[in-house]
Every structure is written in C-alpha cells, then in structure tokens.
Structure 1
Amino acid sequence: MAGSRMLRRWVIIAGSGAALLAALAIVVSSTVSTAPPASSMSPNPSFIDRMDSTNPPAWANGLTFTHATADLSREEAASFTSMPWRFVALEGDVLRMVFAAGDGACVLHRGFSITSTKTLVEVRVLSVTDTSQTARPSRLELGAADVTLTEPLDGRALVHSPTDPQWPESMLAD
C-alpha cells in the first residue's frame, strides 16, 4: 500500500513536470523567431564603381578570363541571385571583372544582365539558387570574365547592382 502511494506521487510529479516542460516549449517557440534579422533580409546596396583597378586582385591569380555577353534581360534577372563582382579593367566596351559565381553545389553561375540609362550602366552577375537543397556547402567559387557591354560607357557611371544579403561585396576584398 505504501509502495503504491509512493508510485502515485512519482507519477503525479513526473506528469506535472512533463506538462510544465510542454507549456514552456510552447511559450519559447511562440516568442523566438526563426526568420533572419530584418537587416540581413535587405539586399546589399548598389554602388558606383570607381574603376581604379587595372589588375585582378591577388586571390584571382590563376583564374581564366572568358568572353561573355549580357544574355539575361532585367525581367529574367529578377528570378536569379545577384552576386558581387569586382572591376579589373575597361577596354572600349569590354568590362573585365572577377566575381562570386556561387558555391558550386546549390548556387551556380547563370550569366550577366546589363541595364543602361542616360546616366549609368548597371551590371548584374547572376546565379541560380537551388532552394530544394537543405544542406549547403560553405564554399566560394570564383569566376572571371570579359563582358561585352551593350554600349560603351561614354562618361556614364558603372554601377554594381544590389547583391543578395548572403553574398556581400566584402567577400571579394583583397
């Protein structure tokens, strides 16, 4: 009899403890957001390139520059990931650049998009992101290209388009 009372007390204590833990889990899960902070959801801002480099950065040694054209329209570009790039040189209407191409698995280079106005030429390096992948490598693949502009700069500003928050321009620093 005393043993059953003791067992009953332990069952009540254990049941109360489990209920308390379940209630605590509900409170914590409703107050903790899994969304990234608002600041990281905003794209990295666009900026005007000073065009003051004449050589690729040291980390780009060994990259082969391939000829490329801007083959994606601004509308098509909207569905891709905007990646950071770095000015190397401008010869006529050919822009030499190095860029973040992706991670080689989930984020893969797709192409370039150029938008021109009377005052600026905006260049986008674009990659496609496979969002079905749950595990993504922490790896950076680089590219190098000689991109033919749709028309010469003729005094207009060369502008980097805003980049995806996960791909900041700073990753291409010296």
Structure 2
Amino acid sequence: MLAISSVLAACLVASGCGAGSGSGLPPTAAATVRVGPVVDPLTPDGSTWAQGLDEQPAGQLLDDAQVESGISMPWKFLGFGDTRSVVDVAFVAGDGDCVTPLGFAATTDGDHVELRAVSVVGASREACADPIVLRRASVQLPVPLDNGIQLEHAPVEPDWNSPSDFD
C-alpha cells in the first residue's frame, strides 16, 4: 500500500496525473490564480499545435443566464479572423464528460472587450475519467479591436487555471 501511495504522490507532484485520470476532479491549479481580467497582448500564436484541435462550430455568444450557469475556462489568442471583430482562440473545453463547453461571452465597456470561454459542469461528477479537452473556435466580438480597444481574459475558475494548458 505504501508503494502505491508513494507512486501516486510522485505522479501527482510531477505531472498532475490525477486530473482527468479517473479521479473525477478537474486539473488542479498549482500555479498562480488569476483574480481579475488580464489584458491579452494580441500576439498571434504562429505555432501549429492548435491546428490539430477540434474546431467548435462558431463560437456561440451566450446570454447572461447561460453564462451564470457555467464556469469560466482559460483560452489563448491564436490570431484574428477575417476582421478585427473576429478572434481565433484555443480554449479548455473541460474534460469531455463531466465538464463540457457551452460557448463564449464577450462584454465591452468601450475600452476593453472581456472574453470568457464558458463550460458547464454536469450533474454527476463521480465518473469523470476523461483527460483535459482543448478545442479552438472563431468568436465574433461585439466591437472590433481597433482604436485602442483591448481584449481581456475573464477571470478563470480556479480549479481550471493552469498556465501549462496551452504548452
């Protein structure tokens, strides 16, 4: 029993393998937790890692009630679509079973557009054996990112805030 506990502890410390590996728990956030919106530098990701991700059909914008029913997930700016009103993003969709993607929320105050990737937690969290799921989407923003308007990341659900999700 001690050997199994030692192996499990080493695995959890080294790689977070408990997350999504039958534990029923989301990935844990061993790093810093964002508590407020973070401005995105709008640096396109020139790597090809995101090309292999499943694309969510149109990044659906949600209403307030839908946003309130979900949790905020991390996302990464990949580039602009056809205009500066459309952003291509990679996002953590959940675990494919107990936490699944719902859509996006984009709000503006005139100087910023805050983008939130929203997923929902299923009623049963007892058999969540799937690993973290990354997807990509094109999201239509309420205003173009011109004339100094900045794109912000909404605060992320602490249990899903891991800087290594997009490495």
TM-score (norm 2): 0.70
- Distance in 2 (alpha carbons) for counterparts of 1:169 and 1:149: 25
Q: How much has 1:70 moved relative to structure 2?
A: 4.1
Alignment of 1:1-174 (within 5 A): 44-45=34-35, 46-55=37-46, 57-91=47-81, 92=83, 93-137=85-129, 139-154=131-146, 155-174=148-167
Change (3 A) 1:58 1:166: farther
Unaligned stretches of 5+ residues in structure 2 = 1-28
Change (3 A) 1:67 1:130: closer
Name the Cα RMSD after superposition. Answer: 2.4
CA contact (8 A) 1:70 1:150 kept: no
SS of aligned partner of 2:97: coil
- The structure that has the greater radius of gyration is 1
Change (3 A) 1:169 1:121: farther
CA contact (8 A) 1:54 1:89 kept: yes
Superposed structure 1 runs of 4+ greater than 6 Å apart: none
Identity of aligned residues (%): 34
SS of aligned partner of 1:166: helix
Q: Could you say which structure has the higher helix fraction?
A: 1
- Distance in 2 (alpha carbons) for counterparts of 1:50 and 1:75: 29
- Distance in 2 (alpha carbons) for counterparts of 1:134 and 1:59: 31
Q: How much has 1:90 moved relative to structure 2?
A: 1.8
Aligned residues: 134
Corresponding letter in the other structure for 1:83: M
Q: How much has 1:148 moved relative to structure 2?
A: 1.2
- Distance in 2 (alpha carbons) for counterparts of 1:172 and 1:129: 19
